[in-house]
Amino acid sequence: MNQLLRLSGLIDHANTRIGKSVIWLVLIVSLISAANAVVRYLFNASSNAFLEIQWYLFAAIFLLSAGYTLLQNEHVRIDVISGRFSPRVHAWIDILGTLFFLLPMAITIMHLSWPMFINALDSGEMSSSPGGLIRWPARLLVPVGFFLLVMQGFSELIKRIAFLQGLIDNPLNKHKEMRLEEELAEAIKAQASGIARQEEDQ
């Protein structure tokens, strides 16, 4: 189990690095979108390549960060019922969900999407739009993204089993950094409290 936990740590580290790198694609997509809009309205010109690269990058953001999102436990969950259970029951729910739903789904999509990528690569498939982009990079994102999700699913499975064996703390109790808007709200609250105390002292 110790070796499996080390493997889990490596997977977590890899998906963290990838996820934090992919964040920059959001900025790139925003800049491309803004530039495309400015060129279209000022010069009455547009490019299908610029439109399609936005779609490609959005797909990259969604697919390549799927494993990182699972690591951060930020996928949509229905906790109305499971939220009332103990951490051990939660761990068992995650184990069963990973074994019978997440991994079969992700492995199936990864398996089915690989031939589509190979066909696009071999045929040099291009966009049907004039001036569009070659298709194989977008096709490749699907198996790669689901591979990262499968790896993270194995990592989460290892951690849940290790938790049930008492080897590690509950992996769902990870410390989460405060978001910027939460920091701003806390700062405003603290400033308002300080002003209120000053008024009371006067």
**Other Cβ atoms closer than 10 A to 82:** 13
Confidence of residue 186 (pLDDT cuts 50, 70, 90): low
Residue predicted with more confidence, 169 or 181: 169
Q: What angle do CA 31, 34, 37 make, to 5 degrees?
A: 150
Distance (Å, rounded) from C-alpha 77 to C-alpha 108?
22
Q: Where are the beta strands (DSSP E) in the chain?
A: none
Say what the pLDDT of residue 192 is: 72
* Higher-scoring residue by pLDDT: 174, 12: 12
10-68, pLDDT tens digit by residue?
999 999 999 999 989 999 999 998 988 888 888 887 788 888 999 999 999 999 999 99
Which pLDDT band holds residue 184 (cuts at 50, 70, 90)? low
Short-list 66, 83, 23, 59, CA closest to 156:
66
Pair 91, 163: CB distance under 8 Å: yes
Say which residue the tokens 């060129």 belong to.
39
The conformational region for residue 170 under phi > 0 = left, psi -120 to 50 = alpha, else beta, is beta
More confident residue, 167 or 195: 167
79-117 pLDDT tens trace? 666 667 788 988 898 899 999 999 999 999 999 999 999
